[in-house]
Amino acid sequence: LDLAEAGAERFRRASAQGHGDEDMAATYFASFDE
């Protein structure tokens, strides 16, 4: 994946996990398994 695609996917996962309102912190939470 290119960098932009990977970042967008991480934001999608973060939003799906309920962290969509946490800006860049959301990507930190999305890096872990549920």
Tokens 């959301």 -> residue: 26
**Which residue range is the domain that position 5 belongs to?**
1-34
Which distant-in-sequence residues (6+ apart) come within 8 Å of 29 by Cβ?
Answer: 14, 17, 19, 22
Distance CA 27, CA 12 (A): 9
pLDDT, one tens digit per residue, over 1-34 is: 588 888 888 888 888 888 777 767 777 777 776 6
| Secondary structure (DSSP) of 19-30 | -TTSTTHHHHHH
- What's the pLDDT at 34? 60
3-class SS at 34?
A: coil
Domain total for the chain?
Answer: 1
| CA distance linking residue 21 with residue 34, whole number of Å | 18
